[in-house]
Amino acid sequence: MTAEERLEKIEQYLQGRLSTEQAATFEAEIQADPALAEEVALERDLLDYLGETDVQAFRATVQKVHKQKREARIIPLAARRTWALAASVLVLVVTGYFVLDRMLAPSPQDLYQAYFETPAAEEFMAPSIFQSRDGVSEKQDLQGLGKVAALYRNGQYAEALAAMQSIEPSDAAAHAYQLGVLYLVNDQPEAALDALSAGEAANPDGARWYRALALLGLDRPAEAREPLEQLRAGSSIWREEAVGLLRKLK
């Protein structure tokens, strides 16, 4: 039997095109020949994979959304550049190259919008923040945080912020940090800035990242550079993002 004939036979078998007798004979051959059995298993798998048109359609949608999200970080800035470039042709005549250079840069608010992503509850309300405290107060805090987390997971961000504000914590820094992130999620960068500064001891790198974003949201890019530089010098999960942001701030 040639390789082509063998492949044809496997296809006929898997597609149910063999007679009952032929199928039984072929099954006996499969039993006796491990290489043939492996070949049939892979063919069956491929047939199953190629036939999953619904899964492939779902995957295509997921990849499309992923691509859109990735481009969303670039397109607004690129579009802005295009408009800025057109406008600057006129401005250049009057004010020269300095103004053009300023217009080409994305605004701090653009960068804030592009870089701020609502974090998962577990990421900024991790119980590990409370590790060093006594058992009773830790338990009380965790009960309060449980309520905040439940509201937050349901997308009730304003209610989560109110619930967090009502907690009387025994660890002020941890509470301030979490409050700061919640203010930012609720688009209140000014309040976030104060809380994050007070909460830096609880999560230094997290506080630096969100403080830098709050400063950008408040149109204070020069001040945002310091926490970003600190993140660049470190090895936290925000380092890569901080490097990208600093490049765009130039």
Partner 1 sequence: MVNPSKIDRNQENLNTFFLEGIRENNSAVIEQIFDRFRPGIRQHIQRNSGSREDADDIFMDALEVIFRKVKTNSLELNCAFYTYLFEICKRLWLKKIRKKKLKNEVRIETWQASTMGEEPVIEMEKTERYGLYREKFELLQEDCRKILDLHLIQNRPMVEIARMMGHKSAGYTYKRKHICKERLKDMIRADQRFEELKP
State the residues that interact with partner 1 by CB under 8 A. 3-4, 7, 11, 15, 41-42, 45-47, 49-59, 61-66, 68-69, 117-123, 150, 153-155, 237, 240
Name the minimum Å distance from CB 119 to partner 1: 5
What is the C-alpha to C-alpha distance for residues 190 and 218, in angstroms, rounded to an integer? 7
Pick the closer one to partner 1 by CB: 8 or 219: 8
Pick the closer one to partner 1 by CB: 37 or 172: 37
Of the candidates 118, 115, 110, the one whose C-alpha atom is nearest the C-alpha of residue 245 is 115
Name the minimum Å distance from CB 206 to partner 1: 10
What is the C-alpha to C-alpha distance for residues 175 and 200, in angstroms, rounded to an integer? 11
Residues 6+ apart with CB under 8 A from 13: 23, 26, 40
Pick the closer one to partner 1 by CB: 103 or 163: 163
What is the C-alpha to C-alpha distance for residues 218 and 193, in angstroms, rounded to an integer? 9
Tally of CB atoms within 10 A around 30:
16
Pick the closer one to partner 1 by CB: 6 or 102: 6
Name the minimum Å distance from CB 89 to partner 1: 37
What is the C-alpha to C-alpha distance for residues 177 and 183, in angstroms, rounded to an integer? 10
Name the minimum Å distance from CB 168 to partner 1: 25
The 3-state DSSP class for residue 200 equals: coil
Name the minimum Å distance from CB 11 to partner 1: 8
Pick the closer one to partner 1 by CB: 47 or 85: 47
